[in-house]
Each structure stands twice: as structure tokens, then as C-alpha cells.
Structure 1
Amino acid sequence: MSTGEKRRFKRKRTDLNTSEFVPAAVPDSLDEQSSETRIFVNSAAKEFWLYASGKKMIAEKVLVRVEAEEFNLKELLVEENLWASTTRNSQYAEKIVREFYCNMPAGVDNVESPKYQRVFVRGRHYNISPKLFADAFECWNPEEKCKENFTVIVTELTGGCKRTWSVRDSALKPTELTSFYSTLHKIVVANWMPCRHTNTVSQKLGLLLFKIGTRVGFDLGEMTYDKIVSFAGRSKKNESYVHPTTIFTVLLNQGLTIGANEDFTQPETLKLTSRLVHGVHMVDINDNDVEVKEEEVEVLTPEALAVATDMVKFLRKQEYRLRNERLLLEARIAKS
């Protein structure tokens, strides 16, 4: 597995749904558990349970259709195959997800390991992979190349309010983003790059916002997989567990059996309030500013509609590419 495939996205946040779990009683001996009811893969996992059960967990949040339409985000999310991952209203069993993290072995992401991409949960092993997480998200976008030019990126994110962003610079504030990107930021940190602190925008987070906003494809399944397996080997790093709904969906898709007395957690609703667009924002480009005369609009045949839809997607990508080139040239002119 290449270095790029093992990237870790470390983020913090304060306002997402976090929870603390009260550990349940477990058998004193692994021998007392039948193969069907066995919880822990080995004694080390059993000993780790008290720690794992006390870690905070950041759960995904559900984006409401009305709010997505109000903030002009639905079309973008649908076209980029991200809509399903934000609107899932699936409950999850928190105890099972914690058992998953507790049992995930070191070497789970090592292709030469016999434990490669396999995690023991409730009596059997389940597979995990970028493809399986992509299936849970219903998002199979391939990774597209994107030049990490942070002059272009920060100019795009802030609407030109800032034109430099070096590694020595401090992180951006969400209020420095345009209203479009500040709203998108709320969705990203809730569902795709979960973190406990949302009052800053790091360069890695900024790059993801830029990719989504300019319609550059990214592999959501691989990004999620990399983040989850970073907890492998019963890691005690000071981060909250993430993606419980996605993990639970992957297990269910492979036939996980749920007990009658299992407790479930319902995901919270993601609120996009008007305060997200306060701050040093530039006015975003609005297609409604362009007037289209009624007599110029004609009804398309099904064949022509399919061609026109593909052409619109192509032109939008070209529009963003040309816009980014313009921003880079303007930044160079301003710096000269």
C-alpha cells in the first residue's frame, strides 16, 4: 500500500455529536463465551475494553433536504455522488461499533498480514476496505489529481479576501470563508472529515473543501478507511472514534446479526443556520443573476436531454478550471 493510501486525516471538533459509553459487563473468561456470542478476539482486546468504552465518539449527522436546497447545496452533492452520504438516517448500535474498534488488530491495513482488512465482531470476522466504505456511502468517485496550490485554494475559499496561505500561516476561520464554503465546511466536518473542533480550517481540510467546491473527485471510501484503520492495534491516541453509522452499515451489509436487546442510537440532524454566513464573506456567484428569456428555452427529447446533461457537467468543470487559473494569475499580478 502506497504512502498516499495510508494518509491520516487528524481533526478536532467540539460541536459534533459526541458520546461517552458505559461499559457493559463481559464474561470473566473467553472460554465462557460460545463462538456465536464471543465478543473479544483475544485477551488483549478484552483488557482494552475499559479504555475503548470510555472514548468519545463523533457520529455522522443527517442533512435535511429542505436546508440543502435553501443553501443551494443539493445539486452539487447529488452531482458529486455525495448526497446519499449526508442524508442517511440509519441508526447504529454504539456498543457493537466500540467492539469493532476494540478488536481491530494491528496490521489490518498491511497487505502482507493474515489479518489484512479483517475485523472480529460478535463471533465472526468481517471484511473492511475502501470499496466497502464507498458502498456504505453510495459514493464511488475515483481520486482525481489536484495540484495543491494553496494560493489558488485560499483565494477560492475566501473569495479573494486572502491570497496567501503557507504552512507557517495559522489555520483559517470558518467566518473567513465565503458563505458557500462556510456552509460546506459544516457538512464536511460532520460527515466526511469528522473532528471535535470546528473553529479552524487546516490546509488538509481546506484542500478537501476546495475539491468538493470545484468538483474535483476524491475517494471518500479510501479517506474513510484510512481514518478508521488509524485506530488499529488498540491505539490509545487522544482522538474520538468516528464514523459509527458507516461502520455499522458495512457490518450489516455482511450479515451482522443483531440481538433483541441491543440499544440503538439515532443520528442527530445537521442544522445549517444563517449564522454560518456571517463574517468576512465575499458575495458568491449566483446563476440567478443571468437572465434567460422564456422563448429561448425549448423542451429536449430524452436523447438530447442526456447529451445536454453531460455537456453541463463538462462545462462546469471547465468553468471551475478557468476560474482557478484566473485567480492564480490575479494573485501573481498582485504579488508582482
Structure 2
Amino acid sequence: MGLGVTPSKKANPPKEGRKTSTPAKKAVKFGPPRSASKVTTSGKEKKNLKRKEPVSSESEFEEEIVKTTTGGSSRKTVKGRKVPLNVPSAPLDNVSFHFEDGPTRWKFVFNRRLSVERNLSKDFLKCKELMELISAAGLMKTVKALGVCYEKLVKEFLVNIGEDCNDPTSHEFRKVFVRGRCVNFSPSVINQYLGRSIDEIADMGVSQDEVCKTITGNFVQAWPKKNNLSATRLTAKYALLNKIAAANWVPTTHSNSVATGLARFIYAVGTKTSFAFGSYIFEQTFKHAKSLAVQMTITFPTLLCGIILD
């Protein structure tokens, strides 16, 4: 059996709950249903399903069936932001909105695909050095014994993240209101959920060239100026960390190359360098909340569900 990861479970969202100020046809209740089950799709939706390609030709990961993102390629610009046209409408039944523009933004979030985290395989878990590095980074909850991911709950959470969530002067600073409940959401909350130190950590003071030399075992002395680093240049340890990161931490389908952000992430894990993981996850989530892009995938959905339901 090869090294790999298995997808975490995805379940149908809860069906009942409290109405908010925004009119909705039916009430919804916060929390999971009595029993979790896999997401079911109608015959029409099944036509839009396709199997995701393995991470590489010799992928150590198990394949995962995911939804295809739809939407027109043409775009228009609104308030400096590019807005895709011809985005399919999204059902508003049983959706709780905290902001007036929620119903307008909902279709953009609804039509995104989740990049669901995957459990590491037994062979990966037997790699003592790798597990020690992940444990030291406080990221075990992102690769092992993953909980259930409620797709609709995650998307409702995103659409209800407002600008005030990142504004220290606002009374809604670090708060997200979803399904009639206030969820505290901040880098420290994320770190606490992961079992890491809640103290804020400064960004790594290391150059990209130093990162490049370390993860390639000094094989490449400087970061490529025009292209990303080839994954074939990584040492065995960082090649394994890259596989995990590409699936769970910095999701990407470009398995043959390593981008700067992903490189710095695996460098921090591999060298046990202090890194603001909580801030990174918070910033990625906040970016998804503000964006109207449909093609981008939603990262850390299982982790977000855990925080919402904690």
C-alpha cells in the first residue's frame, strides 16, 4: 500500500434553525443532523460531477469525487473587484444571512468547490519523523481523525463574514454570525482549536533563497526568478511534506511545481520554525469571504466546521 491520504467525510447540512432578519422561506437550526451522511445530489447535479485527477502520475493520495465549478468566463468590474458573469443562481431556502448583501453574494460562494482535507494513510502515520514534525507544528488535527464537513454550513459561514470581522474598532470584530449564533473567529481561536499556542507569532525572517536551499538540500541555491520551483528538486522529507501541504494546507493541483507560499509552509514545518499558522488560516478564510471569484476553492472546510460546532 502506498503512502497517502483519504478524504474526510462530507455530510448534509442541518435542516432546521432560527430565522434571522433576512427573510427566508424556512427556518434552520444550528448544528448537525441526528446522523451524518454523505452529500447526495440530484440527477441534474450528477451531470456536473467529475473525478478529480490524482495529485501526480504516481499519486500517493486516494482520488476524491468533487463538484465542478461552473460560471461564465466573462467578467465585469464592480468597485474595483472582478465579478464573473453568468454565474448560476443558488437556492435561498434555509439559508441564514447576517448582512443585507448576503443574498446577492450567496451564489458566488455557493458555486465554489470545497477543497476537503484528507486523512493521512496508515503508511504515512507510521513515518515517525514526519509525524513528529506535524505534531510539533500543532497541525495534527488537520491531517488525522478529521471530523465531518458540512458543505452548506461552511458556505453560510463564509458569506456571513463581514469586513467588520477584521476591524478592531468594530463591535463585531472577530465575530461571525451564522444560523442565529455568534461564532468567535480569530487567529487565536484557530490556534486554540488546533492545540497550539494562542500567542501571535511574527512572520518568518528568512529569505526565499534560504527556503529554496533548505528544501532542496542545497541542490538549488536560489529561488527561480520566472517559474516556481520544480517538485523534483525537493529532498525526500520535503517531497512528503509537499504532498500533504498540496492536499490539506496550501491546496493546489499543480503537483509538479512548488509555489512560494507552499514552499515557506513546508519549510516552517520541516525546520520547526515558528510560523503564524492561525493567522495564515484566518487570512485565507477572510480572503475567500471577500472574493466574488467562483473558480477558487474553499480551503480548510473541515477545520472551519470543527470551530463552528465546537
Matched, 1:164 2:230: no
Displacement, 1:234?
5.6
Displacement, 1:246?
1.0
Aligned equivalent of 2:67, options 2, 6, 19? 19
Displacement, 1:24?
6.8
Displacement, 1:189?
2.3
Displacement, 1:124?
2.4
Residue 195 of structure 1 is matched in structure 2 by 252
Q: How does 1:251-270 map to 2 (within 5 A)?
A: 251-253=308-310
Residue 261 of structure 2 is matched in structure 1 by 204
Residue 39 of structure 2 is matched in structure 1 by none
Q: How does 1:181-330 map to 2 (within 5 A)?
A: 181-233=238-290, 235-236=292-293, 238-253=295-310
Judge which range, 182-191 or 15-24, deviates more: 15-24
Q: 1:14 to 1:69 in 2, by over 3 A?
A: closer
Q: 1:220 to 1:46 in 2, by over 3 A?
A: same
Judge which range, 236-245 or 134-143, deviates more: 134-143
Q: 1:203 to 1:94 in 2, by over 3 A?
A: same
Letter in 2 for 1:19: K
Displacement, 1:20?
5.1
Aligned equivalent of 2:131, options 70, 74, 84? 74
The answer (yes or no) to whether the contact 1:172–1:201 under 8 Å persists in 2 is yes
Rounded Cα–Cα distance in structure 2 between residues aligned with 1:238 and 1:221:
25
Higher helix share: 1
Name which structure has the greater RCO, CA cutoff 8 Å, separation 6+. 1
Q: Secondary structure at the match of 2:115?
A: strand
Percent of pairs with identical residues = 23
Matched, 1:59 2:116: yes
The answer (yes or no) to whether the contact 2:105–2:292 under 8 Å persists in 1 is no
Q: Which runs of 5+ in 1 are unaligned?
A: 1-12, 28-36, 254-336
Rounded Cα–Cα distance in structure 2 between residues aligned with 1:38 and 1:160:
52
Displacement, 1:150?
3.2
State the Cα deviation string for residues 184-232 of structure 1 (Å, max 9, x = none): 0111222222234333212222122222111112121111011101123
Rounded Cα–Cα distance in structure 2 between residues aligned with 1:114 and 1:40:
18
Residue 189 of structure 2 is matched in structure 1 by 132
Rounded Cα–Cα distance in structure 1 between residues aligned with 2:238 and 2:291:
36
The answer (yes or no) to whether the contact 1:38–1:123 under 8 Å persists in 2 is no
Query: C-alpha root-mean-square deviation of aligned residues, in Å?
Result: 2.8
Displacement, 1:74?
1.5
The alignment covers a number of residue pairs equal to 231
Rounded Cα–Cα distance in structure 1 between residues aligned with 2:177 and 2:229:
40
Rounded Cα–Cα distance in structure 2 between residues aligned with 1:223 and 1:147:
16
Displacement, 1:245?
0.7
Q: Secondary structure at the match of 2:183?
A: strand
The answer (yes or no) to whether the contact 1:154–1:163 under 8 Å persists in 2 is yes
Q: Secondary structure at the match of 1:87?
A: coil
State the Cα deviation string for residues 44-92 of structure 1 (Å, max 9, x = none): 2112222221112211111134323247412222233332332132111
The answer (yes or no) to whether the contact 1:65–1:74 under 8 Å persists in 2 is no
Rounded Cα–Cα distance in structure 2 between residues aligned with 1:237 and 1:113:
29
Aligned equivalent of 1:154, options 212, 235, 256? 212
Rounded Cα–Cα distance in structure 1 between residues aligned with 2:291 and 2:209:
39
The answer (yes or no) to whether the contact 1:139–1:220 under 8 Å persists in 2 is no
Judge which range, 41-50 or 213-222, deviates more: 41-50
Higher strand share: 2
Following TM superposition, the consecutive aligned residue runs of length 4 or more in structure 1 with deviations greater than 4 angstroms are 13-18, 20-24
State the Cα deviation string for residues 16-46 of structure 1 (Å, max 9, x = none): 855358987435xxxxxxxxx7611244211
